[in-house]
């Protein structure tokens, strides 16, 4: 079985359960990248400039969970261009981030200080989802602040403008999921792994909230 490499962007500490289920076990080998050296990543660096640490066309897949919202708006296109640069021609990126529209609806219904869910770091409120986890920021982790936001349309647009060949976006409860395909990547090669996860709609024949394919 050919080994494949998944680059875990903004990985945090080494915790196998944080890696998306599609990448657990063979044939995947995880490489962790994080801006915080304290979490002991394989690569210390920023998603906006991975430089020589991650060569061109060297990665089979990217997993980015709740990272792109930490960038300033002008850095988002730079990061997606970096994602595309390091991916092989048959690679793909799986990206998830908060859904600003869903959070706004939650705020209107329950209030900005209402707890939306419980996380390993404690309760997460609508305010945390919009601007970053307050307790973590107060503890000195300023890089946890959120500096931009995404809707279905914006997430799809920035990926397409980075010249991914196909982008599919679906809504979760309060988050968005984007599957960004390189030109030689075929959806049928990804389908078996994702079809067993809650994000199966990304590889369904007609995924929910799918973004039209763009070359």
- Three-state SS string across the chain, please? CCCEEEEEECCCCCCHHHCCHHHCCCCEEEEEEECCHHHCCCEECECCECHHHCCCCCEEEEEEECCHHHCCHHHHHHHHHHHHHHEEEEEEEEEEEECHHHHHHHHHHHCCCCEEEEECCEEEEHHHHHHCCHHHHHCCCHHHCCCCCCCHHHHHHHHHHCCCCEEEEEECCCEEEEEEECCCCCHHHHHHHHCCCCCHHHHCCCCCCCCCCCC
Return the bridge partners of 181, or none: 92, 166
Residue owning tokens 């809707």: 151
Phi, psi (deg, nearest 5) at residue 96: -130, 145
Q: What is the pLDDT of residue 121?
A: 78
Q: Give the whole-angstrom CA distance, residue 176 versus residue 190.
A: 19
CATH class given for the domain over 4-99+150-203: alpha beta
Domain layout of the chain by residue ranges: 4-99+150-203, 100-146
For 148, the token pair is 């931009």
Among 150, 133, 152, residue whose Cα is nearest residue 142: 133
Mean pLDDT per 10-residue section of the chain, whose length is 215 residues: 92 90 92 95 96 96 97 98 98 97 97 93 93 92 93 95 94 95 94 91 73 51
Q: What is the pLDDT of residue 215?
A: 39
Q: What is the pLDDT of residue 17?
A: 86
Q: What is the pLDDT of residue 196?
A: 86
Q: What is the pLDDT of residue 2?
A: 86
How far does CA 15 lie from the centroid of its chain? Answer: 16
Among 146, 185, 180, 176, residue whose Cα is nearest residue 161: 180
How far does CA 54 lie from the centroid of its chain? Answer: 18
Q: What is the pLDDT of residue 207?
A: 63
Q: What is the pLDDT of residue 120?
A: 80
The pTM (predicted TM-score) of the whole model is 0.93
Q: What is the pLDDT of residue 5?
A: 97
Q: Give the whole-angstrom CA distance, residue 205 versus residue 95.
A: 20
């Amino acid at each position: 079985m050919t080994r494949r490499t998944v680059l875990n962007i903004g990985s945090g500490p080494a915790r196998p359960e944080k890696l998306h289920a599609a990448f657990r076990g063979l044939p995947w080998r995880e490489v962790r990248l994080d801006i915080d050296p304290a979490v002991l990543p394989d690569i210390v660096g920023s998603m906006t400039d991975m430089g020589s640490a991650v060569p061109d066309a060297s990665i089979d897949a990217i997993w980015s969970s709740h990272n792109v919202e930490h960038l300033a708006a002008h850095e988002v296109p730079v990061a997606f261009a970096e994602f595309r640069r390091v991916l092989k021609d048959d690679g793909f990126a799986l990206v998830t981030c908060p859904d600003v529209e869903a959070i706004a609806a939650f705020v209107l219904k329950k209030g900005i200080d209402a707890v939306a869910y419980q996380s390993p770091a404690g309760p997460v409120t609508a305010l945390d989802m919009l601007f970053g986890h307050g307790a973590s920021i107060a503890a000195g982790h300023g890089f946890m602040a959120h500096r931009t936001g995404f809707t279905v349309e914006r997430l799809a647009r920035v990926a397409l403008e980075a010249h991914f060949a196909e982008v599919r976006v679906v809504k979760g409860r309060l988050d968005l999921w984007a599957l960004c395909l390189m030109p030689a990547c075929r959806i049928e090669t990804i389908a078996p792994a994702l079809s067993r996860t809650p994000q199966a709609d990304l590889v369904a024949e007609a995924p929910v909230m799918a973004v039209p394919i763009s070359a």
